[in-house]
Amino acid sequence: MENNAIFDIRTKRDFLTQALRIFKFQYTNNSVYQAFCKLLNVDPDTVLTLEQIPFLPIEFFKSKEVLSTTTLPEITFTSSGTTGSETSKHFVTDLSIYEQSYLKAFNHFYGGISDYCVLALLPSYLERTGSSLIYMVEDLIKKSNHPKSGFFLNEYEQLQELILELQKTNTKILIIGVSFALLEFTEQYQLSLKDAVIMETGGMKGRRKEIVRQELHQLLSQGFGVQQIHSEYGMTELLSQAYSKGKGAFDCPNWMKILVRDTEDPLTYLNTGKSGGINVIDLANINSCSFIATQDLGKMNQDGTFEIIGRFDNSDIRGCNLMVL
């Protein structure tokens, strides 16, 4: 199936055309998704809008092989489960689509990666295998072509010295890290950076007391001496990311879209400004499932950006009797 067309999407009509094409393809070729659609009595021939497309609960990635192709996976990405809990598995049969997706998205929001020195503070991800985030950041480090780009575990002193050295050369810096590691760094060093993007990828769970994003961003912007803290929104089950350049307001690349569902009635969608469950359309996920109902809570803003407010646990997901496939 022609995959590159999704990266040529320019208009809402383009998006709808590609989404309906991919929906029909996945309904036909993905047995898990087809069974789910049939449970909801959805006839693919009557689906004409995005809102009519069924969104597969993200939990399915823990118990099923969610694939729309018989091609063998090139890699399997896994989520970081707490000890003893089931992890999600995302079987990726064409890594080139993932690579195109994150490179084109980064380029769209931030310009060419070769303009940056990339410094990654992702200790919890480096401690395990199968992270899609590590795969992406490793490639960004490589493609930055900067000799000082790299991963840092907890070598905070070394990182601080390198940042100060880079600041003297007017090099653009991207510091991408999990929240707890960025916070720990700023508790030891206070900086005043110019031409630097500080990007958090979430990740406080189990490491230290959870704090709200607003408070986190305030502490980080004081610690790094920057106006805004950027954020990346992605997950194991997706092949695309949304980015926020500040205030927690996320933008999607043209092949990704967010809908907000009513948590009491998952087949109903909410208007701008109302909080509900986040449904993601990720057209890059063509060989798996492009229509996923996540466990994140969020809302759409008037300007088309979206915000993530938190998560809800299984007991809050209505309609999860649909999980008994």
Residue 222's CATH number: 3.40.50
Give the residue from 22, 3, 1 showing the smallest Cα distance to 290. Answer: 22
- 171 and 298 both lie in a single domain: no
Percentage of residues in the chain having pLDDT higher than 90: 82
Half-sphere exposure for 118 (CA within 13 Å, toward CB): 23
For residues 35 and 74, membership in a common domain is answered with yes
Instruction: Tell me: do 109 and 223 sit in the same domain.
Output: yes
Q: What is the DSSP secondary structure assignment for residue 52, as one 8-state letter?
A: G
Q: Is the dihedral of CA 241, 137, 77, 102 positive or negative?
A: positive
- Whether residue 274 sits in one domain with residue 199: no
Q: Which of 18-32, 201-215, 311-325 has the highest mean pLDDT?
A: 18-32
Does residue 113 surpass a pLDDT of 90? yes
- Of 52-56, 163-167, 308-312, the least confident: 308-312
Inform me whether the pLDDT recorded for 162 exceeds 60: yes
Would you place residue 316 in the very low, low, confident or very high pLDDT band (cuts 50, 70, 90)?
very low
How far from 163 is each of 117, 214, 221, 224, CA to CA, in Å? Answer: 10, 25, 16, 11
Q: Enumerate residues 6+ apart whose C-beta is below 8 A from 224.
A: 175, 186, 191, 193, 196, 198
* pLDDT tens by residue, 72-82: 999 999 987 65
Quote the crossing angle between the two packed helices 132-144 and 95-110, to the nearest 10°.
60
How open is the CA angle 139-145-148, to the nearest 5 degrees?
Answer: 95
Query: Cβ distance 74 to 93 under 8 Å?
Result: yes
pLDDT recorded at residue 204: 66
Positions of E strands within 183-290? 196-200, 230-233, 242-244, 250-251, 256-261, 276-282
Quick one: 141 and 215 in the same domain?
yes
Phi, psi of 198 (to 5 degrees): -100, 115
User: What's the pLDDT band for 310 if we cut at 50, 70, 90?
Assistant: confident
In a domain, residue 305? The reply is yes
pLDDT in tens, 78-105: 987 655 578 999 999 999 999 999 999 9
d(CA 289, CA 131): 19
- The answer on 226 and 129 residing in a single domain is yes
179 and 123 in a common domain: yes
pLDDT in tens, 193-214: 999 999 999 876 656 677 888 9
Q: Is-contact 153 126, C-beta < 8 A?
A: yes
Per-residue pLDDT at 60 exceeds 50: yes
**What is the pLDDT of the chain when averaged over all its residues?**
91
pLDDT over 80 (residue 126): no
> What's the total number of domains in the chain?
2
| pLDDT at residue 34 in the model | 98
For residue 244, is it within any domain? no
Domain that holds residue 309: 4-92+255-323
Whether residue 249 is contained in a domain is answered as: no
Confidence (pLDDT) at 262: 94
> Nearest 5°: CA angle at 33, between 5 and 255?
25
| Residue at 243 is within a domain | no
How far is it, in rounded angstroms, from Cα 204 to Cα 271? 30
| pLDDT bucket at 317, cuts 50 / 70 / 90 | very low
Task: For Cα atoms 120, 278, 112, give the angle at the middle one, nearest 5 degrees.
Answer: 35
Decide if pLDDT at 1 tops 70.
Answer: no
